[in-house]
Amino acid sequence: MSKKPLRPPGASKEVDFISSCIRCSKCAQVCPYKSIKIASLFDGITIMGTPVIKARDIPCYLCMKCPPVCPSGALNRKLRNKKDVRMGTARINKKECLAWQGTLCRSCYQSCPIFDEAIKMDNELRPVVDEKKCVGCGICENVCPVEPAAIVVVTGGR
Protein backbone atom coordinates (compact mmCIF):
# COMPACT_ATOMS: atom_id res chain seq x y z
CA MET A 1 0.00 0.00 0.00
CA SER A 2 1.51 3.33 -0.99
CA LYS A 3 1.25 6.16 1.49
CA LYS A 4 -0.09 9.51 0.29
CA PRO A 5 2.48 12.27 0.65
CA LEU A 6 2.48 14.42 3.75
CA ARG A 7 2.19 18.06 2.68
CA PRO A 8 3.38 21.23 4.43
CA PRO A 9 1.07 23.07 6.85
CA GLY A 10 -1.81 24.84 5.17
CA ALA A 11 -1.92 22.60 2.11
CA SER A 12 -5.28 22.32 0.39
CA LYS A 13 -6.82 18.94 -0.49
CA GLU A 14 -4.43 16.83 -2.56
CA VAL A 15 -6.13 17.25 -5.94
CA ASP A 16 -6.38 21.03 -5.42
CA PHE A 17 -2.84 21.19 -4.07
CA ILE A 18 -1.40 19.41 -7.12
CA SER A 19 -3.16 21.79 -9.49
CA SER A 20 -2.38 24.99 -7.56
CA CYS A 21 1.25 24.35 -6.52
CA ILE A 22 3.53 26.06 -9.04
CA ARG A 23 6.53 24.00 -7.90
CA CYS A 24 8.59 27.05 -6.95
CA SER A 25 10.24 25.35 -3.93
CA LYS A 26 9.93 28.49 -1.76
CA CYS A 27 8.40 26.49 1.08
CA ALA A 28 11.35 24.08 1.07
CA GLN A 29 13.84 26.93 0.91
CA VAL A 30 12.37 28.69 3.95
CA CYS A 31 12.08 25.56 6.13
CA PRO A 32 14.76 25.89 8.84
CA TYR A 33 14.61 22.17 9.65
CA LYS A 34 14.88 20.93 6.05
CA SER A 35 11.67 18.98 6.68
CA ILE A 36 10.20 19.92 3.31
CA LYS A 37 11.71 18.05 0.38
CA ILE A 38 10.83 18.34 -3.28
CA ALA A 39 9.31 15.16 -4.67
CA SER A 40 11.35 13.46 -7.36
CA LEU A 41 10.31 11.21 -10.21
CA PHE A 42 10.80 8.28 -7.80
CA ASP A 43 7.95 9.68 -5.68
CA GLY A 44 5.63 9.61 -8.70
CA ILE A 45 5.18 11.62 -11.87
CA THR A 46 2.03 13.37 -10.65
CA ILE A 47 3.67 14.78 -7.52
CA MET A 48 7.14 15.39 -8.96
CA GLY A 49 8.35 18.89 -8.09
CA THR A 50 5.88 19.40 -5.26
CA PRO A 51 6.80 19.74 -1.58
CA VAL A 52 6.57 16.63 0.59
CA ILE A 53 7.45 15.81 4.17
CA LYS A 54 8.80 12.36 5.00
CA ALA A 55 8.07 12.34 8.71
CA ARG A 56 10.11 9.26 9.55
CA ASP A 57 13.19 11.12 8.24
CA ILE A 58 12.47 14.73 9.28
CA PRO A 59 9.01 15.68 10.58
CA CYS A 60 7.37 19.09 10.46
CA TYR A 61 8.23 21.12 13.56
CA LEU A 62 5.36 23.53 12.94
CA CYS A 63 7.49 26.67 12.70
CA MET A 64 4.84 28.01 10.30
CA LYS A 65 7.36 29.74 8.01
CA CYS A 66 6.18 28.01 4.83
CA PRO A 67 2.54 29.14 4.43
CA PRO A 68 3.31 32.89 4.16
CA VAL A 69 5.86 32.42 1.35
CA CYS A 70 3.60 30.39 -0.95
CA PRO A 71 2.87 32.61 -3.98
CA SER A 72 0.15 30.41 -5.48
CA GLY A 73 -2.11 29.87 -2.50
CA ALA A 74 -1.48 26.11 -2.49
CA LEU A 75 -0.59 26.71 1.17
CA ASN A 76 -3.02 28.84 3.16
CA ARG A 77 -1.02 32.00 3.90
CA LYS A 78 -3.39 33.01 6.70
CA LEU A 79 -2.58 29.92 8.76
CA ARG A 80 -0.57 30.97 11.82
CA ASN A 81 -1.58 28.82 14.79
CA LYS A 82 0.00 25.36 14.92
CA LYS A 83 -3.14 23.94 16.57
CA ASP A 84 -5.10 24.83 13.40
CA VAL A 85 -2.81 22.78 11.12
CA ARG A 86 -4.33 19.65 9.55
CA MET A 87 -1.65 17.74 7.65
CA GLY A 88 -2.99 14.31 8.54
CA THR A 89 -3.73 12.13 11.53
CA ALA A 90 -1.45 9.85 13.51
CA ARG A 91 -2.55 6.22 13.66
CA ILE A 92 -1.16 3.68 16.10
CA ASN A 93 -0.51 0.07 15.13
CA LYS A 94 -1.35 -1.45 18.50
CA LYS A 95 0.21 -4.80 17.54
CA GLU A 96 3.60 -3.11 17.06
CA CYS A 97 3.45 -0.30 19.66
CA LEU A 98 5.67 -1.06 22.65
CA ALA A 99 3.28 0.53 25.14
CA TRP A 100 0.34 -1.42 23.74
CA GLN A 101 2.43 -4.60 24.13
CA GLY A 102 3.20 -3.94 27.79
CA THR A 103 6.58 -2.18 27.58
CA LEU A 104 6.73 1.33 29.01
CA CYS A 105 7.25 3.80 26.18
CA ARG A 106 6.14 7.41 26.07
CA SER A 107 8.14 8.62 23.07
CA CYS A 108 5.21 9.80 20.96
CA TYR A 109 3.33 11.26 23.90
CA GLN A 110 6.27 13.26 25.23
CA SER A 111 7.31 14.53 21.80
CA CYS A 112 3.93 15.73 20.57
CA PRO A 113 3.88 19.53 20.18
CA ILE A 114 0.17 19.55 21.03
CA PHE A 115 1.14 18.07 24.38
CA ASP A 116 -1.40 16.03 26.30
CA GLU A 117 -4.11 16.96 23.82
CA ALA A 118 -3.39 15.24 20.50
CA ILE A 119 -1.87 12.18 22.18
CA LYS A 120 -2.94 11.20 25.67
CA MET A 121 -2.03 8.24 27.83
CA ASP A 122 -4.83 5.91 28.88
CA ASN A 123 -5.13 4.35 32.36
CA GLU A 124 -2.68 1.62 31.36
CA LEU A 125 -0.09 4.17 30.08
CA ARG A 126 -0.76 3.45 26.43
CA PRO A 127 -0.89 6.27 23.85
CA VAL A 128 -4.24 7.22 22.35
CA VAL A 129 -4.56 9.74 19.50
CA ASP A 130 -7.32 12.35 19.57
CA GLU A 131 -8.05 12.65 15.86
CA LYS A 132 -9.70 16.04 16.32
CA LYS A 133 -6.59 17.55 17.91
CA CYS A 134 -3.81 15.77 16.02
CA VAL A 135 -2.24 18.13 13.46
CA GLY A 136 -0.35 15.40 11.58
CA CYS A 137 3.13 16.89 11.91
CA GLY A 138 4.79 13.46 12.12
CA ILE A 139 7.00 14.12 15.14
CA CYS A 140 5.51 11.04 16.80
CA GLU A 141 6.34 8.92 13.76
CA ASN A 142 9.88 10.27 13.73
CA VAL A 143 10.62 9.46 17.38
CA CYS A 144 8.96 6.04 17.51
CA PRO A 145 11.67 3.52 18.51
CA VAL A 146 9.99 0.66 16.63
CA GLU A 147 11.03 -0.12 13.05
CA PRO A 148 8.93 0.38 11.03
CA ALA A 149 7.23 3.03 13.17
CA ALA A 150 4.24 1.83 15.18
CA ILE A 151 2.66 5.26 14.78
CA VAL A 152 2.36 6.86 11.34
CA VAL A 153 0.62 9.90 9.93
CA VAL A 154 -2.02 9.21 7.33
CA THR A 155 -3.46 11.90 5.11
CA GLY A 156 -6.99 12.37 3.87
CA GLY A 157 -10.16 11.01 5.36
CA ARG A 158 -10.71 13.92 7.73
Phi then psi dihedrals of residue 28, to 5 deg: -70, -40
Question: In angstroms, rounded to a whole number, what is the distance separating the alpha carbons of residues 20 and 8?
Answer: 14
Q: What mean pLDDT is predicted for residues 86-101?
A: 98
What's the pLDDT at 103?
Answer: 98
Domain residue spans in the chain? Answer: 14-82, 88-154
Match domain 14-82 to its CATH number in 3.30.70, 3.40.720, 1.10.10, 3.30.40.
3.30.70
Domains 14-82 and 88-154 share a fold: yes
Q: 88-154 adopts what CATH topology?
A: Alpha-Beta Plaits (3.30.70)
Question: In angstroms, rounded to a whole number, what is the distance separating the alpha carbons of residues 2 and 14?
Answer: 15
Query: Model confidence over 94-150: pLDDT tens digits?
Result: 999 999 999 999 999 999 999 999 999 999 999 999 999 999 999 999 999 999 999
DSSP secondary structure letter of residue 42: G
Query: Model confidence over 6-61: pLDDT tens digits?
Result: 999 999 999 999 999 999 999 999 999 999 999 999 999 999 999 999 999 999 99
Are residues 35 and 60 in contact, defined by beta-carbon separation less than 8 angstroms? yes
Are residues 5 and 56 in contact, defined by beta-carbon separation less than 8 angstroms? no
* pTM: predicted TM-score of the whole model, two decimal places: 0.94
Bridge partners of residue 152, in order along the sequence = 91
